């Protein structure tokens, strides 16, 4: 459809499909990382703040959170200290 020399996009054009795919991808990623943050953080307040930052700023918040978590582990610690709760929730001695 043309109006005064401009082409109007159809309601289901490729732009809208890509926008929907990008939003779905973003929110799936936010959900997955939010689950990890909720598992790692010790208080509800810090969890809520991190999740709000993830929703507002996306990947830059994810990178910042990962860097902070990397500074909390030493070179000698196994990788599961980075992934699992830092309060010893899954200590090998308690299993």
CA distance 48 to 52: 6
Whether residue 5 lies inside any domain: the answer is no
Q: Over range 7-34, report the average pLDDT.
A: 82
Name which residue leads in pLDDT, 89 or 79. 79
Whether residue 6 lies inside any domain: the answer is no
**pTM tops 0.75, yes or no:** no
Whether residue 93 lies inside any domain: the answer is no
What total number of domains does the chain contain? 1
Residue among 59, 37, 58 nearest 48 (CA)? 37
Whether residue 4 lies inside any domain: the answer is no
CA 73 to chain centre: 20
pLDDT of 26 reads 92
Question: How far lies 11's CA from each of 1, 14, 50, 71, in Å?
Answer: 12, 9, 36, 48
Residues 6+ apart with CB under 8 A from 54: 30, 33, 34, 37, 61, 62, 65
Q: Is the pLDDT of residue 60 over 90?
A: yes
Whether residue 10 lies inside any domain: the answer is no
pLDDT of 18 reads 85
- pLDDT tier at 11 (50, 70, 90 boundaries)? low
User: Which residues constitute the domain of residue 63?
Assistant: 15-85
Name which residue leads in pLDDT, 73 or 2. 73
Whether residue 3 lies inside any domain: the answer is no
CA distance 21 to 39: 27
Whether residue 54 lies inside any domain: the answer is yes
Q: Is the pLDDT of residue 85 over 80?
A: no
Whether residue 92 lies inside any domain: the answer is no
């Amino acid at each position: 459809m043309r109006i005064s020399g401009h082409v109007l996009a159809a309601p289901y054009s490729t732009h809208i499909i890509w926008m929907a795919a990008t939003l779905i991808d973003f929110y799936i990623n936010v959900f997955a990382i939010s689950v990890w943050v909720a598992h790692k953080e010790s208080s509800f307040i810090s969890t809520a703040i991190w999740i709000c930052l993830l929703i507002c700023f996306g990947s830059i918040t994810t990178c910042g959170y990962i860097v902070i978590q990397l500074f909390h582990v030493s070179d000698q610690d196994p990788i599961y200290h980075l992934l699992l709760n830092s309060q010893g929730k899954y200590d090998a001695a308690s299993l």
